[in-house]
Amino acid sequence: MANKFLGIGCLAGFFSGLLGIGGGLVMIPLLTFWGGFSQKEAYGTSLVAIIFAGIFGSVAYHFHGTLDVIAAVIIASAAMGSSFLGVRYCNRQPEWKLKRFFGFFLILSVALLLSKPYFTSLVPSAGFSRVLLLVFIGTLGGFLSGLLGVGSGGIMVAGMVVFAGMEQVSAQGTALLVMVPTGIVGAYAHWRRGNVRTEGIVRVILGILCGSVLGASVAHAVSVSVLLFCFCAVLLVMACKYLATKKQ
C-alpha cells in the first residue's frame, strides 16, 4: 500500500516536471482506479499534492532561468477566485457526470499536449492587453482546477504561448508556479467539503518531489516526443473508460 502511493506520486511528479502539467491527469485516474478513491475525493486529494508538484517543479524551472514570476502573479490572482467557484460547482454534480467531465478533459489535454510543438503566438501582446489575456487564462484555468482537481497546466501553457507570446518552456515553468496558490485555494475548499483523504498523502508528496525534479531536468535535456506520444495514448484509453461511465 505504501509503495502504491509512492509510485503514484513519482509518476505524477515526473510528468508534471516534464510537460508542465500539475500531475492531476496522472494522479486522479490512479487514485480512483488503483487507490479506491471516489471522484470527488481524488479531486481534493490531487489538489493537495499538486501544490507540492508546483513548488518542486517551478523551483527546478527557476534554476534553469525559465520562469516568468510577474505573469505567474497575474494569472494566479485570477485563478484563485475562479478555483473556489469551480469547487462549488463540482460538489453540486453527481459522480457519473464528474467522471464524464474528466474524460472530456483528458481528450482536450491530449489535443493540447500533441499540438504543443506547433504553438505560435497569434497576436503578440504587450502592456494592458497582455495583462487582460493573462487574467482570462487564469480565470479559465482556475475554474477547471477547482472543478476537476487538476492543475490545468495544459490550458494555461497553451494560452501563454499562443496569446501572450511566451516561450514554451517558460510557459511550462510559469504554469507550475501558478498551481501553488491555485491549488491551495482549491484544496482548502475541497477539504471543507470532506473531499480530501490523508491516507498515503505524505508518500504521494515524497514521490512528487523526486519525480518533478527529474521530469524538469529531462525537459531541458532531451527530446520527449516519443514519451509524450505514449503518455497521450494512455490518457486516451483512460478517457474512454471515463466517458463510458453509465448515468446513475
**pLDDT the model gives residue 68:** 83
What's the mean pLDDT in 108-127? 69
What's the mean pLDDT in 130-141? 89
Domain boundaries of the chain, sorted by first residue: 2-243
Inform me whether the pLDDT recorded for 14 exceeds 90. Answer: no
**pLDDT the model gives residue 77:** 93
Q: pLDDT category, 197, cuts 50, 70, 90? A: confident
**pLDDT the model gives residue 191:** 92
Can you read off the three cell numbers belonging to residue 183?
Answer: 491549488
What's the mean pLDDT in 135-157? 84
Mean pLDDT of the chain: 82
The pair phi, psi for residue 151, each rounded to 5°, is -80, -15
Can you read off the three cell numbers belonging to residue 218?
Answer: 529531462
pLDDT tens for residues 29-54?
A: 888 888 888 889 989 988 888 887 78
**pLDDT the model gives residue 26:** 80
**pLDDT the model gives residue 121:** 55
Inform me whether the pLDDT recorded for 224 exceeds 70. Answer: no
**pLDDT the model gives residue 46:** 87
What's the mean pLDDT in 192-220? 82
